[in-house]
Amino acid sequence: MERDMKQADAGMPRILRAPEVERMTGLSGVSIWRLEKRGEFPRRRRLVGKLVGWRSDDVQRWIESRERLPVEQPGSTD
């Protein structure tokens, strides 16, 4: 039965808590909050009470979008 549940959940996004989002992105909680406020990071979702999380697929898409951005070199004038 557990195997069946894992197969059914395979295509479903997970809900990620802040420590996992921070690990995945390499960003601090404050940086994530600032990006959210500017509309540059997926919005957190209220689960219950003060408990919040992010959809794993939203965070993964954000990471992939960042991988496509050019890396700025220190001292470049572009």
In-domain check, residue 21: yes
Question: Both tokens of residue 9?
Answer: 């959940």
- Nearest-angstrom CA–CA distance, 3 and 14: 17
Q: Pick the residue with more confidence: 38 or 11?
A: 38
Cross-strand bridge partners of residue 53: 45
pLDDT of residue 49: 95
Considering only residues 9 and 19, tell me which one the structure prediction assigns the higher pLDDT.
19
pTM attached to this predicted model? 0.72
Does residue 5 lie within any of the structural domains?
Answer: no
- Domain housing 62: 13-67
Task: Write out pLDDT tens, residues 22-59.
Answer: 999 999 999 999 999 999 999 999 999 999 999 999 99
* 76 domain-assigned: no
Residue 78 lies inside a defined structural domain of this protein: no
- Residue 77 in domain: no
Contacts of 3 (CB under 8 A, 6+ apart): none
Residue 31: inside a domain, yes or no?
yes
Retrieve residue 31's tokens.
Answer: 């940086």
- pLDDT-derived band at 4, boundaries 50, 70, 90: very low
Q: Are 57 and 64 in contact (CB under 8 A)?
A: no
The domain tally of the chain equals 1
